[in-house]
Chain A
Amino acid sequence: MSLQEMKPLTWTGILVAIVLIAASLYAIEDVPAFGDENSAANKYIKLFTIYSDAALVEALNAGTLPEEIKMQIYDLGFIKGPTCKGCQDENYPTLEEGNYKIEYIEKGTWLGGRIYTEAGWDVLIHEGEIFYNEPQQYYFIEEKYGNLSVFRYNWPVRVTERTEEETGIANVVTAGLADYRGYDTMGEETVIITGAICVILLLRRRGRL
């Protein structure tokens, strides 16, 4: 077929296909990989490691957070207020005296929907919420090979802190449905429309079977 014989519809189809292919190539570059540990939602947060010390362990057992750990956490930017000039204000709960609570957790305990594979200290922070008035897990400190490793709890804490900033939605559930799990919801909608099309194909056969 020569170019002059092509119908306008063919031209339009070819143009749309080219634009779609170009957009797909562009999108492939841009979409974060699934299961990427460094993507925003999946970040595994091990904050830092410091050398263990009898005094540090004793302080942790006594229920106070040592100054070394506290300063490191503040240095990472988990504070209230801006971390640099012109930055947005951070809104992390601070580790003031009386605001937090430290609990030692044995290895193999079920707590909060997960099993503790290592023994360690949980740092619970009282946020001062009116209706959910319990201290929440923020940091986990583990002693291993003479080191103290400080972890930060990932998903629930992240959702409560960051949803509005990242997505702009005040409702956490809507943000989870439409943003963080947007692909899943799109698949659900596709399932519904596929079911409807299958019912149409099966029921409108008018005696042909």
Chain B
Amino acid sequence: MTPEKKAYKRDVIIEVIASLMFPLTLLFGLYVMFGTGGTGGGFQGGTIMAAAYILYITVFGHEKGRENMPESVNALFKSLGLFLYNGAGWICILFSLAAAQWLNLPAFWPVTDFVGVPGSRSFLVSYMINVGIGLTVMASFVSQFFDLAWKEEEEMGGGEE
């Protein structure tokens, strides 16, 4: 089979609606991810952001999706989330303030005072942990979707022979 691509059918309505929804869904994912004072959290925020990327890939195709979310950035996010989480724990342990079970969040009060937010001692670690979880979840889901979509495209194209 010739390596030329199958004609990629464009649909104006779907593309316009998806390009409108994509940034708004990302924004909503960020809002949920940072909403740890209420009902939000890292897992749900990451899932919503991954859903935004999956919508984008479904509508605009695999290659344009790769331009939007390159493999290097994906791998970076995937490990960066875990490093953020574990880094918060390491800093709390190394400052010798593990008086609660593991993460004693007031360990950060000098930092937050230095930044200029006195009274909100837990701000940094609470957000750091949830953003870490969200980044890992988002990058993992997007990476799995990319892998499955790539496989399907290759099978439809008749493989490499």
Contacts and interface: CB of A to CB of B under 8 A. Distances in A.
Contacts of A179: 100-105
B45 interface: no
B132 A39 contact: no
Nearest to B140: A196
A40 B43 CA distance: 27
Contact of A178 (B93, B99, B126): B126
Q: How large is the interface on A (under 10, 10 to 19, 20 to 34, 35 or more residues)?
A: 35 or more
A99 interface: no
B100 A196 contact: no
A-side interface mostly: helix
B94 A26 contact: yes
Given A31-B102, A178-B103, A199-B147, A193 B125 contact: no
B89 A186 contact: yes
A135 B57 CA distance: 54
Interface of A: 23, 26-27, 30-32, 39-41, 166-171, 174-175, 177-183, 185-186, 188-190, 192-193, 195-196, 199-200, 203-204, 207
23 contacts: A27-B94, A31-B98, A40-B99, A167-B104, A168-B105, A168-B121, A168-B122, A169-B105, A170-B37, A174-B130, A178-B130, A179-B101, A180-B101, A182-B129, A192-B136, A192-B137, A192-B140, A193-B78, A196-B144, A199-B143, A199-B144, A199-B147, A203-B148
